[in-house]
Structure 1
Amino acid sequence: MKPLVLTFLACCSLILAGCANPGVVQISPDTYFISRTDKGGIFGNASKMKAEVIHEANEFAAKQGKVAIPLSTQETPMAIGQFASFDYQFRVVDKDDPEAKRTALVPRADIVVEKTEKIAADVKTKEEKAPDLYTELTKLDDLRKKGIITDAEFEAAKKKLLEK
């Protein structure tokens, strides 16, 4: 009976070791990642889990005499059939590094709402100028001299320009 109990306990410890938190994972020379899942279900505490992850990152950096700078976070709330989880990516920099002074995460939208509608707008790309009377009359006269328009058409267009 004793060997059976010992075998059972050994199997349980192997299974639990496989489910253990992997700890701090290095993803580049100065960038690290911690991922944690709260398997407490309705009895779990997601806020405590997040605080522990951030604390672990800060301790990791402090052991190296450095500071942990948050890069990104991703959290999944607990839902039916889903445990709460928290992923934390951070950089480890010297305490004198300029980035150590700016430690706030850049806010990003959780939800993006796209609204598509047609609107009417009076858009002018160039400033409209009143045509120069002298230039217009010169163009008309040039057209008449080249025989493109008749004298009657010239007079009608000239009268129209002068009335504006």
Structure 2
Amino acid sequence: MRRLLVSTIALFMAGCSGPGVVPMGRDTYMIAKEGSFTTFSGGSVKAELYREANAFCEGKGKQLMPLKDSSIDKGYGRHASAEVQFRCLDANDPELRRPTMESEPNMKIKFE
């Protein structure tokens, strides 16, 4: 019984994870994650994703080039979450430059 309790607590403390790095096309990837019940900031989740994306690219011997990101803070009935889209590029690739991206808006209004 005690082993089950310890396993359950460890699961809650680890938080929810995402599917890992997902390919979106040539050298282009996406990673998403939902925070645990103790994570309040989508920015914190996003920072974790950037660390994971950077490690993924470094593992391929390449450099991280962010494309787009978005995050949502914890709210009533939802966990904090984030998504990062990126490329893994060679150090001499002309597309590798200082990122000039903007975050996706949390809310989109569609007029019909």
- Fold-level similarity (TM above 0.5): yes
Give 2:20's match in structure 1, choosing from 7, 10, 23.
23
Please tell me whether Structure 1 or Structure 2 has the larger radius of gyration of its CA atoms: 1
Give the count of matched residue pairs: 107
**Structure 1 residues 60, 75: CA separation in 2 closer, same or farther (over 3 Å shift)?**
same
Decide which structure has greater helix share. 1
Decide which structure has greater strand share. 2
Q: Percent identity?
A: 31
* Aligned-pair CA distance for 1:55: 1.2
Give 1:99's match in structure 2, choosing from 92, 95, 110.
95
Q: Paired residue for 1:56?
A: 52
Secondary structure, counterpart of 2:43 in structure 1: helix
Give 1:89's match in structure 2, choosing from 85, 88, 109.
85
Which stretches in structure 2 are left out of the alignment for 5+ residues?
A: none
* Aligned-pair CA distance for 1:50: 1.3
Please list the CA deviations of residues 24-69 of structure 1 after superposition, one character each: whole Å capped at 9, or x if unmatched. 111223111110111224x544332211111111111112121111
* Aligned-pair CA distance for 1:102: 3.5
Q: d(CA) in 2 for partners of 1:108 and 1:82?
A: 19
Q: d(CA) in 1 for partners of 2:17 and 2:103?
A: 31
Which stretches in structure 1 are left out of the alignment for 5+ residues?
A: 115-164
Q: Which amino acid aligns with 2:28?
A: T
TM value normalised by structure 1: 0.51
Secondary structure, counterpart of 2:89 in structure 1: strand
Q: d(CA) in 1 for partners of 2:55 and 2:102?
A: 23
